[in-house]
Amino acid sequence: MSISVPPTTCRSTVPERIGLHTRLRAGSEERYDELHRAVWPDVIVAIERAGIARWLIFRDGLDLFHYVECDDYDAAIVELAGDPVNVRWQAEVAPLMEKAHDYSGKSSDRLPVIFDLG
């Protein structure tokens, strides 16, 4: 019996794992959820092309917690910051955000790891 593992777009076998915190404006939850149930296909392509293998977003009320896997998060964010598709997507999402994702490279939205099971 062989086990096949689907290929990943990440450029490394040991991905960098990033946690992020962003926050919605009150009343924008439904629109945010709606947008993310149908992320534009070109946005998905841009994220994968930037080398991000996985991006999960969890919501608790207005707080959003992101989990991202990639071998070089800083490089991926620089690439996405200049990608016209991502710029359009962020313009759509920005009005919904009280604290938006930081594409400046200063990473003020990153969460520190306090526990890692392995």
Query: Which sequence spans correspond to the domains of the chain?
Result: 16-100
pLDDT mean across residues, the chain: 88
Q: Over the stretch 21-69, which tens digit does the pLDDT of each residue have?
A: 999 999 999 999 999 999 999 999 999 999 999 999 999 999 999 999 9
What's the pLDDT band for 107 if we cut at 50, 70, 90? low
pLDDT at 10 over 60: no
pLDDT score, position 110: 86
Architecture of domain 16-100: 2-Layer Sandwich (3.30)
pLDDT of residue 102: 81
With beta carbons less than 8 A apart as the criterion, state whether 89 and 2 touch. Answer: no
DSSP 94: G
List Cα–Cα distances, 30 to 33, 92, 99, in angstroms. 5, 14, 17
Question: How much is the pTM?
Answer: 0.83
CA distance 80 to 68: 14
Query: Measured between alpha carbons, how far is 20 from 111 in angstroms, rounded to an integer?
Result: 5
